[in-house]
């Protein structure tokens, strides 16, 4: 008896005839679940959300982001480094200035879809 069937028989589920093995085969992998959780963890900080929100509109340098968020450049740089490691933002160097933008359209879509979900009543 497989693990799902054993658990179902112990708990006496009223829907024990549903094909859970088929669903189990279609479920997200452990690796993907961990990576997705890390992405949402990155979005779990208000400062990082504000940075992404600002970068939705245009590419910005650390100085401009610090001014927009009323934060020190060091703190902003720290958060940008985290977002860059998560592949949520990318940087472009022009002389001594580093400009940041969203890594790709998926980040924008995740952000905007989540915002729409929150505003949906």
Rounded distance, CA 42 to CA 53, Å? 14
Please give the residue that has the higher pLDDT: either 12 or 87: 87
Tokens of 61: 């340098």
Q: Are 81 and 66 in contact, with CB atoms under 8 Å apart? A: no
Res 4 pLDDT > 80: no
Predicted pLDDT at 78: 97
Predicted pLDDT at 9: 60
Q: What angle do CA 45, 78, 76 make, to 5 degrees?
A: 75
pTM (two decimals) = 0.81
pLDDT tens track for 75-118: 999 999 999 999 999 999 999 999 999 999 999 999 999 999 99
pLDDT tens track for 38-61: 999 999 999 999 999 999 999 999
Residues 6 or more apart whose CB falls under 8 angstroms from that of 62 comprise: 73, 76, 77, 80, 98, 100
């Amino acid at each position: 008896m497989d693990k799902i069937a054993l658990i179902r028989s112990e708990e006496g589920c009223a829907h024990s005839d549903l094909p859970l093995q088929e669903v189990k085969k279609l479920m997200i992998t452990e690796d993907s679940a961990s990576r997705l959780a890390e992405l949402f963890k990155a979005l779990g900080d208000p400062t990082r959300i504000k940075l992404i929100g600002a970068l939705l509109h245009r590419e910005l340098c650390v100085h401009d982001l610090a001014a927009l968020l009323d934060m020190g450049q060091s703190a902003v740089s720290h958060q940008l480094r985290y977002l860059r490691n998560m592949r949520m933002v990318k940087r472009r160097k022009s002389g001594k200035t580093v400009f940041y933008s969203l890594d790709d359209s998926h980040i924008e879509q995740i952000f905007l879809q989540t915002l729409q979900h929150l505003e949906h009543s």
